[in-house]
Amino acid sequence: MVKIAVLVSGGGTNLQALIDRQQAGELGCGQISLVISSRAGVYALERAEKAGIESMVISRKECGSAENFDKKLVSELKSHGIELVVLAGFLSILGKEVIDAYPNRIINIHPSLIPSFCGNGFYGLKVHEAALEYGVKVTGATVHFVNEVTDGGSIILQKAVYIEPDDTPETLQRRVMEQAEWELLPKATAMLCEEIQKEKDNK
Ligand code: GAR
C-alpha cells in the first residue's frame, strides 16, 4: 500500500471524492492515512472522521512562522510514513522544506486550465470569477505537481468544462467540480500510487 495524506482547508468535497473512490476500491494501492487541515472547524475534518481517517489541524497562525509551519508539517508527514501528499483545496502555500522533503510526491488540484487563472491570489471562487470576467468559453481543472512556484509544477491531468451563458461563479465552480475535479484528482492519485508502488517493488 502507498500511504497518502490529504491536505485541506475547507468543505472537502475533493477529499470526499478520494474517500469514495477508495471505498469503491478505485484508488489502486493508495490508502488515505491522514487528513491535515490548515483550519479548525472545517467540514473536511468531519468527512475524515466519518470515514475513520486520522486527522489533525496545523495552522500557520498557531505555528508562529512559516518556517515552524513547514517543520511541523514535514515532521507529521514523516512520522506517519506518508509517501504521497495530495492538496485538495489546501490554501496555505508550502515552503521549500516541505517541497524538498517530497520531490514529485506532492500534487494539487486547481480549478482552471493552467496556465490560465492561476498563481498567487487565484483560489476557490476567485478563479471562476476571473474566468467569467475575462469571458472565456471553456475552463476546467488541472492536477499538477507542486514546486516552489504557485501552480507552476508540471501538469499531470487536465479536463475542459464549457461555460454556460447564464453561469455565476457559484454554478461554474460546482460544474467544474462535478465534471472535472472529482474525477481528475482520484485518477491522478491512483496513477501516482501505482508508480510509487512499482518503485518500491523494484528496490
Ligand atoms: C476546489 O475547487 C479546489 O480546486 C480549489 O478549492 C476548492 C476546494 O473545494 N483549490 C484552489 O483554488 C487551489 N488554488 P473542496 O474543499 O470542496 O475540495
pLDDT in tens, the chain (203 residues): 999 999 999 999 999 999 999 999 999 999 999 999 999 999 999 999 999 999 999 998 899 999 999 999 999 999 999 999 999 999 988 999 999 999 999 999 999 999 999 999 999 999 999 999 999 999 999 999 999 999 999 999 999 999 999 999 999 999 999 999 999 999 999 999 999 999 999 98
Q: For domain 2-202, give the fold.
A: Rossmann fold (3.40.50)
Put residue 151 in one of left, alpha, beta given phi > 0 → left and psi -120 to 50 → alpha: left
Q: Ligand 1, closest atom to CA 42?
A: 16
HSE at residue 43, side-chain half, CA atoms within 13 A, is 8
Ligand 1 centroid–CA 72 distance in Å is: 23
* 102 Cβ inside 6 Å of ligand 1: no
Q: What is the pLDDT of residues 194-203, one digit of tens each?
A: 999 999 999 8
For ligand 1, whether the C-beta of 153 sits within 6 Å is: no
110 in catalytic set: yes
150 burial (CB, 10 Å; 0-12 / 13-18 / 19+) is: middle
Decide: 140 in ligand 1 pocket, CB within 6 A.
Answer: no
Q: What per-residue string of b and e applies to 83-120 under the rule 16 or more CB within 10 Å gives b?
A: bbbbbbbbebebbeebbebbeebbbbbbbbbbebbbee
Residue closest via CA to ligand 1's atom 14 equals 123
How many CB atoms lie under 10 A from the CB of residue 12?
A: 23
| Atom nearest to 44 CA in ligand 1 | 16
Q: Is the CB of 47 under 6 A from ligand 1?
A: no
- As a whole number of angstroms, the distance between CA 112 and CA 10 comes to 18
Q: What is the pLDDT of residue 203?
A: 85
Q: How far is the C-alpha of 159 from the C-alpha of 194, rounded, in Å?
A: 21
